[in-house]
Structure 1
Amino acid sequence: MTKPVILLVPGAWHSPSGFAPLTNYLTQHGYIVEGISLPSVGSSPPQMTFDADVQAIASAISRHSDEGSDIVILFHSYGGIPGTSACKGLLKSDRSSTGRNRGIVHLIYCCAFAVEEGVCLMDGLGGQPLPWFKFSSDGKSLMPETPEDKFYHDIDDPKLLQELVSNLRPQSYGPYFSKSTYAAWRDVHSTYVMCQEDQALPFEVQRTMVANVKKVLAESGGRIEMQVHTLDSSHSPFLSRPKELGDIVRSVAESFQTLGQGELSSES
């Protein structure tokens, strides 16, 4: 059986290396996993929109789809906004209509922004920068104050914690005002992983987003669903709860295993 590829879209300030514990766990279970580097992280000069992020994500989706793989894509935090927008035209159902039979089969939001079209990250923050945003002198990029508390408070290893903080890079501020161009969760099944101890994207904010998505889907007839899981975790369960998060990803991905080239089904 052929497993879907797992794509991981990081949030602000982070690189794919932060997903290492989750990546290793999934790789050990036979999955091809790729983390996507966002151009808005560490960019000089800073990006003014999320367009480059959207393109980077869409390119990775297209490449794996064209190579013959279905895709389960996981978004973390800010990554949910450019990530969801990048899915336009790349769902398996979209590509099948043009004669290409691979594409995105499921979305996973890991304490990520799941919003409707026309909504930007700053809308989700109430229109104001958070108190722990630390801006550059020109106001075009920012770093988090006390990331140890905001992102990693359940990481017990001091050496790992120091490494994680040192790997953070300035985040372009402009993309925070880019409005979502596509709510892919309307058109393909999704999963939301809520993190109860999240200090960056509070649990109540996550719950409100999930409730809104479920309301929209119900009003659309209920054909598409968002499943919900809850972890007792900080904003970074891929670091502190890699097995628990990995098992959620696996439970989704296993339902999309397909026959590989040369394999015969039991019904053949």
Structure 2
Amino acid sequence: MAPAVVLCHGAWHIPRHYADVVTHLNSKGFTRVHVPRLPSATDTLPLPPTANLAHDTAEIRSTIQALVEEGQQVVLLMHSYGGVVGSNALDGLLWPQRQAKGLPGGVIHLIYMAAFVIPAGTSLTTPFEGEMMPWLTEDTENGIIHMNDPRHAFYEHIESDAEAQEWLDMTVLCPSSVVRDTLQCAPYERIGQGVDATYLVCSQDKELTVPVQEAMATLLGDTRTMEYCDAGHCVMLGYAETIADVVGRAYQRSRVRLEPTD
């Protein structure tokens, strides 16, 4: 039986932006795909008190926990800011952790796609000495941040301005807290010890450039798998089948390790 897939979306975006990924995963036999909307993905001002990393983490954790308690194997697919949320949500839910306690189910593979991979105890602003990233502008009055050039920062690979605008029209607010809140825990030391990891590098990403993505991926350890595609940051738009293929290959690698041999 194929594992469940939990997709942790990025900032400014909502599950609708990932609908084609779900469709392609379903077509490849991944029939249980969950894309919970993060509480920080809000279009409401003033911001609700749930618009932060802690509540985003709780949302993803509860989704994964329900699945693993059913005995499900889970592949966690994370995009952009979702890499922080997903990493923060995993303590006690990884396959080796549950196996050690005699419990069924667990997360067997972590897939980061143009996603942030940062050390525990840091935030996305840590490399900038606590200041906002240069490609963002902060609205301190409302506690939100704006992408300076969203058309190209998000959708560089989409040739049609009209199509890009359609996707932009669906975006929501991004609370400043998502880049300032600190990652509390990370699963990286478990990778290669009962859980696997893949990083999908998006070569046209204008802000998280290839060297930046590759550098972050080193935190996933020497056993990680690197995949590449010619997409901009929002790889889920136009490269959904590529993502589904990456998930399929990732699962097969974990499956070989998990299935008993004669």
Query: Do both proteins adopt the same fold according to a TM-score greater than 0.5, normalized to the shorter chain?
Result: yes
Q: SS of the counterpart of 1:74?
A: strand
One-letter code aligned to 2:89: A
Q: Counterparts in 2 of 1:25-104, with a 5 A limit?
A: 25-31=24-30, 32-42=32-42, 44-45=47-48, 47=50, 49-104=52-107
Give distance in 2, aligned partners of 1:208 and 1:257. 27
Q: SS of the counterpart of 2:57?
A: helix
Give distance in 2, aligned partners of 1:159 and 1:98. 53
Residues 225-234 or 237-246, more deviating: 237-246
Contact 1:48 1:173 in 2 (8 A): no
Instruction: Give the drift of 1:159.
Output: 4.5
Q: What is the aligned partner in structure 2 of residue 221 from structure 1?
A: none
Q: SS of the counterpart of 2:237?
A: helix
Instruction: Give the drift of 1:99.
Output: 2.7
Give distance in 2, aligned partners of 1:241 and 1:89. 32
Residues 176-185 or 122-131, more deviating: 122-131
Give distance in 2, aligned partners of 1:20 and 1:245. 12
TM-score, structure 2 length as denominator?
0.87
Q: How many residue pairs get matched? A: 251
| CA RMSD across the alignment | 2.3
Q: What is the aligned partner in structure 1 of residue 245 from structure 2?
A: 247
Q: What is the aligned partner in structure 1 of residue 176 from structure 2?
A: 173
One-letter code aligned to 1:239: L
Q: What is the aligned partner in structure 2 of residue 191 from structure 1?
A: 198
Instruction: Give the drift of 1:137.
Output: 5.4
Any idea what the Cα deviations from partners look like across 1:38-76, whole Å, max 9, x if unmatched? 111216236564110110010010011122310000111
Contiguous gaps of at least 5 residues in structure 1: 219-224, 259-264
Residues 249-258 or 142-151, more deviating: 249-258
Q: What is the aligned partner in structure 2 of residue 222 from structure 1?
A: none
Q: Segments of 4+ in structure 1 off by > 3 A?
A: 46-49, 124-127, 134-137, 156-160, 254-258
Instruction: Give the drift of 1:177.
Output: 1.8
Contact 2:5 2:33 in 1 (8 A): yes
Give distance in 2, aligned partners of 1:197 and 1:249. 20
Give distance in 2, aligned partners of 1:92 and 1:247. 22
Q: Counterparts in 2 of 1:83-232, with a 5 A limit?
A: 83-125=86-128, 127-136=130-139, 138-187=141-190, 188-211=195-218, 213=219, 217=221, 225-232=223-230
Residues 241-250 or 39-48, more deviating: 39-48
Give distance in 1, aligned partners of 2:86 and 2:217. 17
Instruction: Give the drift of 1:5.
Output: 0.7
Contact 2:144 2:175 in 1 (8 A): yes
Any idea what the Cα deviations from partners look like across 1:216-246, whole Å, max 9, x if unmatched? x45xxxxxx2111111110012212222222
